[in-house]
Amino acid sequence: MNSFWNDRYSETEFVYGIAPNIYFAEELGKLKPGTIILPCDGEGRNAVHAARQG
């Protein structure tokens, strides 16, 4: 199983793109800044978006 994920994320291109998940981006505004943690966020596109929002 480890080789699957290593192979998947060894590419230089982003697997899911760089834009955050649409649902996540819409719902993020309903939360108080600094109240979420995003473990296992794959390439981090949602975490980067959340950090930019504060």
Higher pLDDT, 6 or 21: 21
6-10, 34-38, 50-54: which range is least confident on average?
A: 6-10
Residue 17 contacts by C-beta under 8 Å, 6 or more apart in sequence? Answer: 45
Compute the average pLDDT of residues 22-41: 92
Cα dist from 30 to 19, 22, 35, 48, whole Å: 19, 14, 11, 17
| The model scores a pTM over 0.75 | no
On the CB side of 34, how many CA atoms lie within 13 Å of its CA?
Answer: 0
Domain count within the chain: 1
Which structural domain range is residue 20 located in? Answer: 2-53
